[in-house]
Amino acid sequence: AQTVTQSQPEMSVQEAETVTLSCTYDTSESDYYLFWYKQPPSRQMILVIRQEAYKQQNATENRFSVNFQKAAKSFSLKISDSQLGDAAMYFCAWTASTGNQFYFGTGTSLTVIP
Amino acid sequence: KAGVTQTPRYLIKTRGQQVTLSCSPISGHRSVSWYQQTPGQGLQFLFEYFSETQRNKGNFPGRFSGRQFSNSRSEMNVSTLELGDSALYLCASRATNTYEQYFGPGTRLTVT
């Protein structure tokens, strides 16, 4: 089954601290792409970071980085120096190289405590 | 470039009615996907269109349909609305030969 599992429905982090959101996925594809999206309370879904499965190097975007473990089918998101604006629902997703269907997890709601 | 736009933003309908939602992708994007988002189910894939052709369809009943126009704008239609169709409907567009999707703000549909 082409599934995405986010086992942490809710997480909280102190401002300026680091938090890691977990994601595992299941696919038989050999070539695929992984994403983390952020959905703030305003509801606009925003792309946070992407990872190509063929790349061993973990992607980073400023304070956001991933830990991609292909064999384990794990794709966690680390947010460093958490800010109040990071509070949102975070969704993990993947798509095959055809790109015509995305599979999303059920999301992790992140609260940032001042 | 302007982002993905969706109209209307909010909609209230009665059971049994039908509804049409509209999505305008980012200029130059030819792929448009639709998702239904509910608190319990997360994002569920409805369908994807590319150059006016439906390339993929999710596991939804035939009451859910869509189309894409030559300018890449897309519409989705839900007929014979049910209470369970109440959800946030998201549209996303993607450029050819890239893989990230860009989402619109969504249409909040409430069925009473």
pLDDT tens per residue across span B19-65: 999 999 999 999 999 999 998 778 999 999 999 999 999 999 999 99
How many Å lie between the alpha carbon of A6 and the closest alpha carbon of chain B? 11
CB A83 within 8 A of CB A15: yes
Q: Average of pLDDT values for A4-10?
A: 94
Q: What is the pLDDT of residues A40-80, one digit of tens each?
A: 987 789 999 999 999 989 999 999 999 999 999 999 999 99
How many Å lie between the alpha carbon of B18 and the closest alpha carbon of chain A? 24
- Looking at the DSSP bridge assignments, the partners of residue B24 are B5
What is the structure's pLDDT at B99?
86
What is the structure's pLDDT at B96?
85
Quick one: pLDDT band at residue A1, thresholds 50, 70, 90?
Answer: low
Q: Tally the C-alpha atoms within 13 A of residue B20's C-alpha that lie toward its C-beta.
A: 7
**Which residues in A have their CB inside 8 Å of a CB on B?**
33, 35, 37, 42-47, 50, 91, 95, 97, 99-107
Torsion of CA A94, A95, A96, A101, to 10 degrees: 140
What is the structure's pLDDT at B93?
95
Q: Average of pLDDT values for A9-25?
A: 97
Q: Check A105 against B42: CB less than 8 A apart.
A: yes
